Amino acid sequence: MAEEKKKRLRGFAGIVSKQVEPLNDNEKFKQKYKDTQVKVLLNAKDGKYAALLVIDKGTIHVEDFKNKPKENLKKKVLGWDGLLQTKTKTFVGLLESDDISLGKVIGKIVTGRIKIRGIKHVLVLLPLFSL
């Protein structure tokens, strides 16, 4: 039997995938998120694809979805628990930062550079990048 070929993620989802999927081999991640089931949609408004980050009992994977038309990203369609939406440049700045803090994120929300829905589910992501 041939192995099933893994689907290549496009655009922003591919970038996010390369950042978070190595966590599947991290024991700290597996222990910390062993009871967590959450879906967070990361939408780079100026890109063609959004990334749906799925944490399911100690594993993490990313799915890509076209972000045009807007109906593709509705909560009823994708079933996400949280939404984080901003421009690609802001996302990349957050992903590359060694010190992602709640204060920095809140500052960007207040200035209107980041849109969040379901904040308690999105906050699950903050500790991810320090593992």
Is there a domain that residue 38 lies in? yes
CATH of residue 45's domain is 3.30.1050.10
Per-residue pLDDT band at 53 (split at 50, 70, 90): very high
Extract long-range pairs of 47-54: CB within 8 Å, 24+ residues apart. Answer: 47/11, 47/12, 47/88, 48/10, 48/11, 49/9, 49/10, 49/11, 49/12, 49/13, 50/12, 50/13, 51/9, 51/12, 51/13, 51/15, 51/16, 51/17, 52/13, 52/78, 52/80, 53/16, 53/20, 53/125
State pLDDT tens for residues 72-122. Answer: 899 999 999 999 898 888 877 766 665 566 666 677 777 777 888 998 888
Predicted TM-score (pTM) of the model is: 0.82
Total of domains in the chain: 1
Residue 3: inside a domain: no
